[in-house]
Every structure is written in structure tokens, then in C-alpha cells.
Structure 1
Amino acid sequence: MIYSSTLSAVVSALAAECIDSTAKQAWQKLYQAGEARPAGPAISAEDRMTADCWVFARLHHGLKPRHWHALVAKYSTHKGRKVEAIGKLCPVVATPAPALFLHKAITAWAIPPLKGVDGKRSTRDLIVLPREFYDMNTWDTDGRPEQTRRRWRLGIHKVLEEMVCEALVEAEKILEAEGVLVERAA
């Protein structure tokens, strides 16, 4: 039992490929981001990385492609994988919106605007879109009413969130079968 929840397992597994093995300062070696570990024997950093990589492969293989791409688009920190997942989601989201609108709506959902980006936050390893990207007026070249564009965006985002929820349910089944989730008290 390694992970306290399905979401923590997914996020940890998706972040594993972006974790570097460069030398760290002493305080960085001591700091463990995330949730407190469950009581019991501690897991070494190497074993945790191995588990994260294994879970990544297990989920990638075990989930339906649309579920995998929804999780990667939403939670991955790997720029290339996130962009690829956004592209793979476009054909599976049904909407009356034009293709440009659909692509920009999925991208805006997967890469939300960040607070503090204006020179106050390091964005070296993040995809940061210009503020103008989030203006729905640029998503539809035919100038449809704002109400229509809002309805389209809401519908697209709703479908994507439903895909993420379905993916997490399926991921939980896989992780429980593998015995890597902390058992909940009844």
C-alpha cells in the first residue's frame, strides 16, 4: 500500500517522468511535498519512483485511451504529453462548436490561467498561454453570440470533467486490484 487516494496515485505517476535526479540542497532532500505518508514503514525515494513509473505504465495500459488522455491533459506536468493529450481529446468530444473553438476550449480547460505569472512566479517547466488565449472572442471566427459560446464552452468542459471522473473510477479499480491504495477504514 503506497498511495492514500486514486488522485494522489495518478498525479504522482504522471509527475514521475518530469522528476529530475539532479543534486539537491540539503533542505530539498528533506522536504516531501504532498500528503502525509500513512503509518508504517517508509518508502525510499527510489522505491517510490519505481512505483510511480510502474503505476504510470499500468494506468496507460489499463485505461481506455480517452480516459488516459483526459487524465494526462488535466494532471500531467509533461509539456509534450499534455499537448498530445489535448490533440487526442478533440475528436472524442461531441459538440456543435467549430473545430477551432473546440480545440481552444479543451486547451483552456487543460491549461488554466495561472495566478502570479507576471514575473512573480517561475514558469520554467509550465505551459503558460498568453492572457488573450482565454478570450472566447478569438475562439469563434463567425462572431456568434456570447451566450452560444458560453454554452459551448460549458458543454465541452462538462464532458471533459465527466471523462476525468470516469477515468478516476477506472483507475481506482486498477489500483485496488494491484493493492497499492491504502485501505479505508469501514
Structure 2
Amino acid sequence: MAVTRVETRKSLLDSARRIVAVKGYAAVGINEVLAEAGVPKGSFYHWFSSKDAFGEAMMEAYFDEYLTTMDAIVADKSKSSAEHLMRYWQNFYDLQAVNDCQGGCLVVKLGAEIADLSEAMRTTTKVGTTAIIDRLEQMITDGVADGSVSVDDSPRATGETLYNLWLGASMMAKVHRSPAYLDNAMTVTRHILHI
């Protein structure tokens, strides 16, 4: 069966994400991604005009998948909003606890690095993280409405605080190679949401 162009593009982005999640963005060259994906160099330049354009597309694809997962959690109408929130945080925990807490969140891995390297990637990451916080705000708002969650601040401020808490806890878990920081984030999250 022949590989389609769309599959080639996806293979490039998936390969890059795996490599970048381990090495960082600046340390990964296009040739390494091409070799991992098994794609000729000409195919790369068919899809991407530069490494920056490639990085931007990689981050967009990451956020598309991430937000789809969040939307699927909320779509489960058999669960309360509190259960949706805790399932989201458990997914976050599980993603970050893998590989001796080296995690798979590209925001944790690349946030500071790409903010200084590429304006396009910084903007893409800003849009993506804002969309995550928008969804958290809505889950918290729904939780307050259905009585499964109670917060002391606005749903927006609470969503921002929790997301920032988890990003920091994930970074510290990576540094110390210990899930204790993620465990603490889970405890604080339950406290903030009064769950």
C-alpha cells in the first residue's frame, strides 16, 4: 500500500515529536527527523519551508491532539464536572510520570526554549495553552454550576493557577526524577477545587 502525502507529513511530525520530547528543539536536526520517519529530504521541503515552519506545525499538531483529548473527557456525560477535571489531571499526571518523570508534555519540555528561539512557535504555544486554560475554565464553571466543584477565585483564575501549578510540578518532577511533585500537585488541585 502506497504512503500518502498526508501520511508522510504526519510521519514527519510524529517522528519529530518523539525526538524533540527527549532532546529539545534546538538539538534536533532535520536529517535526524527524516531518518527516523524514513522520508526523503525533498518530501520535507514539500511540506515545510523551514525548520521554524516545521516546529510551528509540530506544536499545532500537538495542541490539536491535546485539545481533542480534553474534549473527549468532557464529552462523557455520565461523569460530573469534578470527575472530568480529575480525569484530566490524572491524564496529565500519567503523561508526566512516564520514563522516570521525563514526561511527554511539549509545553514543559520546550516552553522556555522556543519562546526565545522562534516567534512563530512561541505564538503557537501561547494560542495552544490559552485554549487549554479556556477548557479548564469551562470545566470549572460547569463544576460550580452542577455543584461538584467549589472555588474561592474565578473559574478563569483557578484554571490558570492550576495549569501553572502542574507545569511547575512537571518541571520539578523532571529535575528530581520523582513523582512526588506531581503527587503534591494532585493534592493541591483537590484542595483548590474542594473535591
TM-score for both structures, normalised by structure 1: 0.33
Higher relative CO (CA 8 A, sep ≥ 6), structure 1 or 2? 1
The structure richer in helix per residue is: 2
If the length of structure 2 is used for normalisation, what is the TM-score?
0.32
